[in-house]
Structure 1
Amino acid sequence: MKLIEKALKGIDGLDKDSMERAKKRLDSLTKPKGSLGVLEELAVKLAGIKKESMHEIKDKVIIVMAGDHGVVEEGVSAYPQEVTPQMILNFLSGGAAINVLARHAGARIVCVDVGSAADVYHESLVSKKVKRGTDNIARGPAMSREEAVRCIEAGIEVVWQEIDRGADLIGTGEMGIGNTTPSSAILAVYSERPLEELVGRGTGIGDDRLNLKLRAIKRALEINQPDPRDPVGVLAKVGGLEIGAIAGCILGAASRRVPVVIDGFISTAGALIAGRIEPRCIDYMIASHVSQEPGHGIMLRLMGLEPMIHMKMRLGEGTGAALAFNMVEAATKIIREMATFDDAGVSREIK
């Protein structure tokens, strides 16, 4: 049995009984019902995921998937492709923004090379390289269908390994120069809005590069004709290696009933692919933030997800997920540590 089939077989819906018990517990705590808003919603959702009304988070992990993109040949990025391996080494040496925020959240980082164009060597790097970057989507498919399956399965393998080591909260992160271009192309397959409303400036490109980016995506869609009914095919035709690995990470986590905090635009492109492969995995996703990329909020709405943070961020790496870890963990502490009205001797609401 293929890893994808094995993962899909393990994905089930949320446990309604545990969610009901969690809601009753929250309503018994010393506060007006529902007054902690999203924190209470998170506590109930986590109960449904974990099949227990009061869950404790012990091991938080952000998995950063790295891959390169042939479409950079079209001039769509403000940065050269060699930044991808340079940033991989920066992650591994602890100097990137995600390292700072992961330390702040008390989370581990696992960096995975699923498709960088360069050879990167480091004792802490997880190597799952499928190919040395995608092909140029403006001239043909990003990868073969077999390669798309392999990067999804790489994500499943990595997340299962981390869960076996004890991870009980996963965050998605990524690195890959040019990766907002395939992410926008994936969104365009599933959105009926004009492309101009979906495509943003990525790393901060000017008008000239933005026009090149729009033209590249239009050509990619025209040449490859991705079928929205075939999400693996969409990934193969206009996606990215790290995007596929993120999709696999989400499917793998859902199959083990572990919540996944989704980061920004590129991570959400992976989440969108995962959600189209198996819609039930969306129940296991927690949206961290909404980025400045115009398509990000549209992606989230396509899956019915509400972001917790509005911080005008557009970095990626898993930075939004790291910030949201604190909120997710706070939700678990509220339901476990707050006193009930009876415990505290506080009078209840007047009927």
Structure 2
Amino acid sequence: MNTIIPNLSKKLQNTIQEEIDYKTKPIGALGVLETIALQIGLIQDTSTPTLSKPTIMVFAGDHGIAKTNKVSPYPQEVTQQMVLNFLNGGAAINVFCKQNSINLKIIDAGVNADFESNSELINAKIAKGTADYSLKKAISLQECELAFTKGKKLVRKIYSEGCNIVGFGEMGIGNTSSASLLMSYFTNTPIEQCVGRGTGVNDEGLKTKINTLKEVYDFHKNSLNTPIDALISFGGFEIVMMCGAMLEAASLKMTILIDGFIVTSALLAANALNSNILDYCIFCHTSGEQGHTKMLNYLNATPLINLGLRLGEGTGCAVAFPIIKSSVNFLNEMATFKSANVSEA
């Protein structure tokens, strides 16, 4: 599960920055767009970066804890139903990907259901959901390794097809609970400051969710010695698969788009395994889930937008993509003072 991620080359930093500064505008006038343009230029090691075959990968998986009815008001069957909704084109992520010409990949990482053969569904199922981590570890070491391997393989495939920018999304009833536990471990934050309402639990439900996850963390805490231990204890198959996929994307020098709370929990694990990954990440938005801002602060990350989104599915990536596209377009297409015969200050 070790992944080699190259240090971001800075040899073209001054060249790219000069290109940005000499555009027909005051220095810094395009704000964050300039920051993104420089980052993508450094990732691609060019002053003329391109966004090729943008893709969002949505990983779906079920969680054994959901069957206890202590962490979500929705039944586990909703995961399967939402996957079918993705395949039928009816979800928010379908709408936004279509609107912004983004390829969408739906992956069954571990849904507790059998799907009919469908060319739009990638079957990477490890098992029909994880174990209930209030009773035992969520997954085995072997399952963790397999999820990593499958995540990496999926990214290598889209890379081989010409993709150089990939966003991550997820679907899984109960996965905000896994994300909260992972956040608590990786950021050393008390559980009650990590847990949010997820799919919309009421005040009493939130109290039950917090108490349940406190008990889960205490149950596992003596066996948490490495990032892999945390993934085995708390991770969903979709979270572990995303972690492996992110690491592979960075190793291939792809630009990585980070969505909300659950996706960022996968990144926390990936960062703990190889911190070079952060140089390749663009943080698309701030989730309405209360722990997400703390995650972003821990990673010293500045998100592009804050629209109060808390849907998951990669929707934050899809909505933010036009901003990212604008950053590359101005770098490639905007005139310089010299080419436009405009006097500089």
TM-score by length of 1: 0.95
Partner of 2:207: 211
Partner of 1:150: 146
Cα deviation for residue 347 of structure 1 reads: 1.1
Contact 2:186 2:268 in 1 (8 A): no
Cα deviation for residue 252 of structure 1 reads: 0.9
Query: Higher mean Cα deviation, 117-126 or 189-198?
Result: 189-198
Q: Paired residue for 2:165, among 147, 165, 169?
A: 169
1:113 aligns with 2:122: no
Deviations 1:325-351 (A, max 9, x none): 1111111001000000001111112xx
1:193 aligns with 2:189: yes
CA distance in 1, matches of 2:134, 2:210: 10
Contact 1:19 1:45 in 2 (8 A): no
Partner of 1:85: 80
Deviations 1:182-229 (A, max 9, x none): 000000112333322211000111122212211221121111116665
Structure 1 residues 36 and 228, CA, compared in 2 at 3 Å: closer, same or farther? farther
Q: Paired residue for 1:304, among 300, 303, 307?
A: 300
TM-score by length of 2: 0.97
Amino acid paired to 1:12: P
CA distance in 2, matches of 1:53, 1:14: 14
Structure 1 residues 219 and 77, CA, compared in 2 at 3 Å: closer, same or farther? same
Q: CA RMSD in A?
A: 1.3
Q: How does 1:244-259 map to 2 (within 5 A)?
A: 244-259=240-255
CA distance in 2, matches of 1:257, 1:16: 14
1:52 aligns with 2:70: no
Q: Which runs of 5+ in 2 are unaligned?
A: none
CA distance in 1, matches of 2:201, 2:47: 47
Structure 1 residues 173 and 158, CA, compared in 2 at 3 Å: closer, same or farther? same
Contact 2:259 2:283 in 1 (8 A): yes
Q: Paired residue for 1:17, among 11, 30, 33?
A: 11
Deviations 1:111-166 (A, max 9, x none): 11111011122222111111111111122211112211211221111111011111
CA distance in 1, matches of 2:42, 2:230: 31
Amino acid paired to 2:87: L
CA distance in 2, matches of 1:198, 1:242: 19
CA distance in 2, matches of 1:91, 1:18: 41
- Number of equivalenced pairs: 343
CA distance in 2, matches of 1:184, 1:80: 19
Partner of 2:60: 66
CA distance in 1, matches of 2:192, 2:263: 21
Q: How does 1:217-228 map to 2 (within 5 A)?
A: 217-225=213-221
Q: Quote the sequence identity (%).
A: 38
Cα deviation for residue 74 of structure 1 reads: 2.9
Deviations 1:266-296 (A, max 9, x none): 1111111111111101111110001111111
Contact 1:182 1:238 in 2 (8 A): yes
Cα deviation for residue 55 of structure 1 reads: 0.5
CA distance in 2, matches of 1:230, 1:21: 40
Matched residue of 1:173: which SS?
A: strand
CA distance in 2, matches of 1:219, 1:89: 34
Q: How does 1:303-322 map to 2 (within 5 A)?
A: 303-322=299-318
Cα deviation for residue 20 of structure 1 reads: 2.3
